[in-house]
Amino acid sequence: MTTNEEVIEVEIPGERVNFAIPQRKLDYATKFNKLLDEYSTCLIVTVTNVGSNQIGEMRKLFRKRGRFLFGKNTLIRKCIREYIKTSGNRKLMALLDLCRGNSGFFFTKDDIGQLRKEITSRQVQTAAKAGAIAPIDVIIPPGPTGMEPTQTTFFQTMNISTRINRGQIDITDEVHLIKQGEKVNPSQASLLTKLGNKPFFYGMKVRAVYDDGNAYDASALDITMQDVANGFAFASRQVAAFSFALNRPTMTSVPHSTMNTYKKVLSLGLSLDKYSWENLDLVKKMLANPSAFAVAAAPAAAGAGGATAAAVKEEEPEAEKESSAAPADPFGGGNASESD
């Protein structure tokens, strides 16, 4: 046994076997355990076609905001299982399912939404390599290639129409060389290299998020507060409509029922001359002269048709000016100053 290894004894039916664990794996487990102790949130990033130099640059850029950790998935799963046994933190079981593919972790305490945008925006332009999966379509435009006429055979084998112009090869028609999702063959990669074309951009991609026992797809970070509000409003309308269909009052249908009832009261008040109140008087004024209130209720149009609105106001009687300057809510409790 050497000094940089640890030996563990494993029982196998009929015998005992000793296994030596390299020191580098023990150091990796120690580092991983410290990160799990310190952080409760991490981003799962994929590093397909990302070189070691690019990963090193990312480590430097985000060193003050978190820690990157990469390794073999089998070793990572082993470290997580051992950590769960010793700490009893069953929340990390959700992290086990995320350990797949060519991926790694970024442990952080910062805003994960902003970090995701910054991580994915760091991309490096690279040449197409034979055997790689094309992330985008590659189209070669017509025009000069800068290649000598002796290399026309190379284009002929790829069924690319060319012509000789001023001592160099010109491509006559647009060529859809590689389709998205296809493998790049050696001839395509060689042609793009000769043309000096680097069509692909590679960088880290955030695939998933682990947040204190909760694991979800990174696309959930694209949801804004406006999306949540719109979804809640749509669901409230659906519940209210369902409640009306069942004739059963709920929290979402009561405001609509109250408003409908008050509208009926207003309509009944319009047919009676003996009874009146402030809001009913306002409704009667609106019905008597709707054009005056239409101008006051459309302040948004003042920018485009301010001169027209001003001309209409000048023709209004003095009493109507006062009522339109502070329009009241016919279904509420008076004008804006009263509600404040």
Tell me, what CATH number does 147's domain have?
Answer: 3.90.105.20
Residue 128 falls inside a structural domain: no
62/174 Cα distance (integer angstroms)? 42
Residues 74 and 208 occupy one common structural domain: yes
Q: Where are the alpha helices (DSSP H) in 103-178?
A: 112-121, 152-157
Range of the domain at 162: 138-181+188-198
CATH of the domain at 63: 3.30.70.1730
Question: How many Cβ atoms sit within 10 Å of the Cβ of residue 180?
Answer: 10
Is 117 inside a domain boundary? Answer: yes
- Do 208 and 97 have their domain in common? yes
Where b means 16+ CB within 10 Å and e means fewer, 201-233 reads: ebbbbbbbbbeeeebeebeebeeeeeeeeeeee
Residues 208 and 89 in one domain: yes
Residue 50 and residue 86 in one domain: yes
Does residue 210 share a domain with residue 111?
yes
In a domain, 250, yes or no: yes
Q: Which residue has the tokens 């929340």?
A: 91
d(CA 46, CA 73): 12
Q: Are 317 and 334 in contact (CB under 8 A)?
A: no
User: Per-residue pLDDT for the chain (340 aa), expressed as one digit of tens each?
Assistant: 444 555 555 455 555 555 677 888 889 999 999 999 999 999 999 998 888 888 999 999 999 999 999 999 999 999 999 999 988 888 889 888 888 888 899 999 999 989 999 999 988 888 888 888 888 899 999 988 888 888 888 888 888 888 988 888 899 999 899 999 899 999 889 889 888 889 999 899 999 999 988 999 988 888 888 988 998 889 988 988 888 888 888 888 888 888 888 888 888 888 877 777 888 888 888 888 888 777 666 654 555 455 444 444 444 444 444 444 444 444 444 443 343 3
**What is the per-residue pLDDT for 127?**
87
| Same domain as 322, residue 286 | yes
Structure confidence at residue 42 (pLDDT): 93
Residue 54 lies in a domain: yes
Q: How far apart are the first and last CA of the chain?
A: 82
112 domain-assigned: yes
Q: What pLDDT, on the 0 to 100 scale, is given for residue 51? A: 85
CA distances for 266 relative to 33, 168, 259, 304, 329, angstroms: 70, 86, 11, 35, 13
Q: Is residue 312 part of a domain?
A: yes
Residue 172 forms part of a structural domain: yes
Q: Is 260 in the same domain as 174?
A: no
69 and 212 housed in the same domain: yes
Query: Can you give the pLDDT at residue 8?
Result: 54
Q: Per residue in 256-271, is it b (16+ CB within 10 Å) or e — as a string?
A: eeeeeeeeeebeebee
CB 266 within 8 A of CB 297: no
**CA 25 to CA 156: how far, in whole Å?**
54
Which residues, 6 or more positions from 165, have their beta carbon under 8 angstroms from its beta carbon?
144
Round to whole Å and give the CA distance between 82 and 176.
52
Q: Are 102 and 48 in contact (CB under 8 A)?
A: yes
Q: Do 85 and 210 share a structural domain?
A: yes
Report pLDDT for 210.
93
Identify the pLDDT of residue 336. 39
| CB atoms closer than 10 angstroms to residue 194 | 13
DSSP E strand stretches across 23-90: 41-46, 66-70
Number of structural domains (the chain) is 3
One domain for residues 43 and 90: yes
Q: Does 58 map to a domain?
A: yes
pLDDT at 323 (0 to 100) = 41
Give helix then strand counts, H and E, for the chain: 14, 16
Whether residues 173 and 247 fall in one domain: no
243 shares its domain with 314:
yes
